[in-house]
Chain A
Amino acid sequence: MKLEQLQVDARPRPHAQAIDLGMALLREHARTVYLCWWALWLPLGLIVALLSPHGFLSWNWVILWWLRPLIERSTIFILSRGVFGETISVRQALRAWPRLLRKGWIRTLTWWRPIVTGRGLYQPVWVLEGADGAQATQRRRVLGARGAYGSAAWFGIICAHFEFVLQLALLSLLGLFFSSVDEMNPFLLLQDEFAPGRWENHLPLVGYLISAGLIGPYYAASCFTLYLNRRAELEGWDIEIALRRLLRRRQSLLDRGAAKSMLGLLVAGFCLVLPAPDSQAADCSKLPVPGDTAASRASAVSAQQRQLRASIDSLSRGQEFSHWECVTKWEAKTKVPEKIDTDEESWLSKLFRTRAPDLPVAEILKPLVITLAIALIVWLLWRNRRLLGGLLPAARDPERQIASEIAGLDIRPESLPGDIPTSVLQLWQRGQRREALALLYRASVSRLAHADSLEIAPGFTEGDCLQSARQAERQGLLSQPAGVLFAEITRAWQAAAYADRWPQDEQLRNLCLRWPPALGGQS
């Protein structure tokens, strides 16, 4: 599961919004979902119609109703791939369908069927997670908490009402045609065996087939997005996605070399703080295979023992004993470390013992170490304060975008000449005033976007760039002379571009003169 490929906005939503998201998702994949649903639903209806006993024809739709949860699994499968951007064809979905029925079907088709209207929330546990038994029970308990099951159940009841009304409407409409002119009865088809032996007795089944065929996918899709929402809540998908973006962004900053020193410090810090991993545990390939005990055994003392060992070895080689796995993980230390009993005294304790025997070393060192650790954390936070700003929900754009164009001007560094002021003045002297000012402005924006890492999105106007620069200046990320110069250049550019009002030669020369020290650093 690659969360960054998720096609929906992963954020905790109210249950009503999550259900509504399912409707939007279904609309996106409606063709595949409905084709797949009907490809399974229609043959099932035909089989039920053919196999129904004669006196049961008016009620054979109940069998179809009973088997419906199995069809819903195809919808879950298609949408589960769809949310991650994978397009599933109807053929693929139909091929996968038998595989989806392996788990949880007994529960779904027996005692759950008449009472658990929110089953749609739990179906992905079997279909997608492949959980079974106690694990599935545990998952269901977690997913259904905080009112999620209640929402799914009520939504199931609402859908059932819609299906019932639609079925009733269809049957009533047809009933009017079948009843006699003198005795109009829309409920004629609902009466038991109104015309024994005739094909019209299958009409209730057809009514249900149509109504559930239209509304069923909505129920499955909405319960699926409710399930997704619960997982996003429980597993903090939004936070994970934000952190991954943060990591990418930090990586890009590190690549630029500005923060390489910080990485070194972090790595060094971690190396110092973390204990060295167990070398044997770290390399699973070096572990002996369980059962391979021949080498460690003493020689057999009797023929009976030899025979017994051979028997045990043959059993051990069986498939049920051949599986083994190596798990490496960090665990909190609970064991009290053994006291090292050594006569050798460390140079530090010797130093303190001889020079200052009464000095309480631990009491002095402890606050010192804690203070240093806090200072380190504060420094790291301060250093990365802009990166941390991205964690605030909905406050910033989740991903930093560096625009390549602002107000129609190419601001990529590679599009700029080496010596900006000289090029600007040359253009100005040649009478290409607009080009000269455009070059000066776009070089300034390019510098802010690429060297000073300012948040500049593609849709930014000149004013937005200026505001961004002012904010950076307030945060200390941009020097004051650079901020002032950028404001002047922006004003000059706006007056030229939108009012056809050009700066004096002297004014332009002044801007160019101040450009290298203020903004020309790394463009």
Chain B
Amino acid sequence: MTVSPEHFTQAIEIARRLKSEIDRAVIGQDNAIQSVLACFLAGGHVLLEGMPGLGKTLLVKALAKTFSGQFARIQFTPDLMPADLIGHAMFDIKSQNFTVRRGPIFTNLLLADEINRAPAKTQAALLEVMQERQATIEGESHQLEAPYMVLATQNPLEQEGTYPLPEAQLDRFLVKVLMDYPSAEEELALTRQVTNNRLGDGLDVSSVNTIIKPDTVITLQQIVAAVRVDEQVVDYAVRIVRATRDWPGIGIGAGPRGAIALIRLARAWALLDERDFVTPDDIKQSAYPVLRHRIAMTPEAELEGLDPDRLLRGLLEQLPAPRA
């Protein structure tokens, strides 16, 4: 697809406005907003990790409102079954027919809260939907409406009684975004905003304006896919991913899907940075959210108290940037 410079300019402007609209509702978490938006534009799925109450649901609701998309939230529990997600066929006595009841996954943005609390088969059902973008109910395939994005959350604490996602399934998430506590100033502003002339503590996205339609999002995603990537930049992404496979402290490196994900996210990142071409910096920035869940640390590194981001930082500092 060839995209004219005017379209790029429009896309950059829309992306900028999308971010500023989300910023109105979600205070702080700038990095998380940027990563989620980039992932949305790249057409991927997000794994969010953070403590409860950091604005994960608010972020998704705000994003959904910016393009008047549908939003659904599922709280994953140990007794959640695949049919609860996907839907099922039910016999209607009046019409003497089976009618299909679609599950909550038939939406634009799906917040899968605490995905690691559901058993493996429910997780697998969701991950299959994420990959195929369709669901099968009673042998009949149902396409999911585009744009479609799953935002699955994990709580870093309370690991007891959870079913950690296996590496192969983690690979299906384009990015893993870490949400940390906001700074003192941000928390002050957030508290003021939520408590000012407000009843209860419900999530309010009334300040967010709808600026595009779902169809525009699809066009936007197509424009992102056409962002120019130089050969040297692709080479850099591949070298990063390959380096993770024999880097000290990393037991299992990222697979080929890692490099693909790096390029996809870097394209969106470039657009958010108001450029129509990708630089090595976009790759470098994308490396943390894209690779942190695709690598497994060695036990020694874990005992040393290191984390994936620190290992990746060391790798990125030492790996030579592209030869221009």
| Residues of A participating in the B interface, judged by any CB pair closer than 8 Å | 16-17, 20, 24, 405-409, 438, 457-464, 493-495, 497-499, 501
Question: How far, in whole Å, are A407 and B320 apart by their CA atoms in the complex?
Answer: 7
Docked-complex contact B305 and A17, CB < 8 angstroms? yes
Interface segment out of the listed B98-106, B127-135, B276-284? B276-284
Docked-complex contact A461 and B324, CB < 8 angstroms? no
Interface residue B121 (Cβ < 8 Å from any Cβ of A)? no
Docked-complex contact B300 and A24, CB < 8 angstroms? yes
Docked-complex contact B281 and A458, CB < 8 angstroms? no
Q: Which residues of A contact B277 (CB under 8 A)?
A: 494-495, 498-499, 501
Q: Which 5 pairs of residues, A with B, have the shortest CB-CB distance?
A: A463-B281, A408-B323, A499-B277, A497-B324, A459-B317
Q: Which residues of A contact B230 (CB under 8 A)?
A: 497-499
Q: List 28 A-B contacts (CB under 8 A).
A: A16-B303, A17-B303, A17-B304, A407-B280, A408-B320, A408-B322, A408-B324, A409-B324, A457-B317, A459-B316, A459-B319, A459-B320, A459-B321, A460-B321, A461-B279, A461-B280, A461-B284, A462-B279, A462-B281, A463-B280, A463-B281, A494-B277, A495-B277, A498-B228, A498-B230, A498-B277, A499-B277, A501-B277
Q: Which residues of B contact A408 (CB under 8 A)?
A: 320-324
Docked-complex contact A20 and B324, CB < 8 angstroms? no
Q: Which residues of B contact A409 (CB under 8 A)?
A: 324
7 new A-B pairs (CB below 8 Å) besides A458-B318, A460-B321? A17-B304, A408-B321, A459-B318, A462-B280, A498-B232, A498-B278, A499-B230
Q: Which residues of B contact A459 (CB under 8 A)?
A: 316-321
Question: How far, in whole Å, are A499 and B275 apart by their CA atoms in the complex?
Answer: 10
Q: How far apart are B318's CB and chain A's nearest CB, in angstroms?
A: 5
With A17-B304, A20-B303, A499-B276 known as contacts, the answer to whether A407 contacts B284 (CB < 8 A) is no
Taking a contact as CB atoms closer than 8 A, the residue among A407, A463, A495 that contacts B323 in the complex is: A407
Q: Which residues of A contact B303 (CB under 8 A)?
A: 16-17, 20
Taking a contact as CB atoms closer than 8 A, the residue among A458, A462, A501 that contacts B320 in the complex is: A458
Interface residue B12 (Cβ < 8 Å from any Cβ of A)? no
Interface residue B217 (Cβ < 8 Å from any Cβ of A)? no
Q: How far apart are B210's CB and chain A's nearest CB, in angstroms?
A: 33
Among A24, A408, A495, A498, the one with the most B-chain Cβ atoms within 10 Å of its Cβ is A498
Count of A-B contacts judged by CB separation below 8 Å? 70
Taking a contact as CB atoms closer than 8 A, the residue among A20, A438, A464, A493 that contacts B281 in the complex is: A464
| Residues of B participating in the A interface, judged by any CB pair closer than 8 Å | 228, 230, 232-233, 275-281, 284, 300, 303-305, 316-324
Docked-complex contact B323 and A461, CB < 8 angstroms? no
Docked-complex contact A438 and B284, CB < 8 angstroms? no
Docked-complex contact B233 and A405, CB < 8 angstroms? no
Which residue on A lies nearest to B302, using beta carbons? A20
Q: Which residues of A contact B324 (CB under 8 A)?
A: 407-409, 438, 493, 497-498
Question: How far, in whole Å, are A408 and B322 apart by their CA atoms in the complex?
Answer: 6
Question: How far, in whole Å, are A17 and B299 apart by their CA atoms in the complex?
Answer: 11
With A499-B228, A499-B230 known as contacts, the answer to whether A461 contacts B317 (CB < 8 A) is no
Docked-complex contact A461 and B321, CB < 8 angstroms? yes
Q: Which residues of A contact B323 (CB under 8 A)?
A: 407-408
Question: How far, in whole Å, are A463 and B280 apart by their CA atoms in the complex?
Answer: 8
Q: Which residues of A contact B275 (CB under 8 A)?
A: 499
Docked-complex contact A498 and B233, CB < 8 angstroms? yes
Question: How far, in whole Å, are A115 and B143 apart by their CA atoms in the complex?
Answer: 72
Question: How far, in whole Å, are A144 and B1 apart by their CA atoms in the complex?
Answer: 70
Q: How far apart are B305's CB and chain A's nearest CB, in angstroms?
A: 7
Which residue on B lies nearest to A20, using beta carbons? B303
Q: Which residues of B contact A458 (CB under 8 A)?
A: 317-318, 320
Taking a contact as CB atoms closer than 8 A, the residue among A20, A405, A407, A501 that contacts B300 in the complex is: A20
Which residue on B lies nearest to A437, using beta carbons? B324
Q: How far apart are A109's CB and chain B's nearest CB, in angstroms?
A: 34
Q: Which residues of B contact A461 (CB under 8 A)?
A: 279-281, 284, 321
With A498-B278, A498-B279, A499-B276 known as contacts, the answer to whether A407 contacts B228 (CB < 8 A) is no
Which residue on A lies nearest to B281, using beta carbons? A463
Q: How far apart are B247's CB and chain A's nearest CB, in angstroms?
A: 13
Q: Which residues of B contact A406 (CB under 8 A)?
A: 321
Q: How far apart are A272's CB and chain B's nearest CB, in angstroms?
A: 44
Question: How far, in whole Å, are A409 and B322 apart by their CA atoms in the complex?
Answer: 10
Q: How far apart are B140's CB and chain A's nearest CB, in angstroms?
A: 47
Docked-complex contact A463 and B284, CB < 8 angstroms? yes
Among B228, B277, B305, B316, the one with the most A-chain Cβ atoms within 10 Å of its Cβ is B277
Question: How far, in whole Å, are A95 and B319 apart by their CA atoms in the complex?
Answer: 44
Q: Which residues of A contact B319 (CB under 8 A)?
A: 459
Q: How far apart are A493's CB and chain B's nearest CB, in angstroms?
A: 8
Q: How far apart are A310's CB and chain B's nearest CB, in angstroms?
A: 70
Docked-complex contact A407 and B322, CB < 8 angstroms? yes
Q: Which residues of A contact B279 (CB under 8 A)?
A: 461-463, 494, 498
Docked-complex contact B320 and A405, CB < 8 angstroms? yes
Which residue on A lies nearest to B285, using beta carbons? A463
Which residue on B lies nearest to A467, using beta carbons? B281
Q: Which residues of A contact B318 (CB under 8 A)?
A: 458-459
Q: How far apart are A13's CB and chain B's nearest CB, in angstroms?
A: 8
Among A405, A408, A409, the one with the most B-chain Cβ atoms within 10 Å of its Cβ is A408
Q: Which residues of A contact B232 (CB under 8 A)?
A: 497-498
Q: How far apart are A195's CB and chain B's nearest CB, in angstroms?
A: 44
Q: Which residues of A contact B228 (CB under 8 A)?
A: 498-499
Question: How far, in whole Å, are A498 and B278 apart by their CA atoms in the complex?
Answer: 7
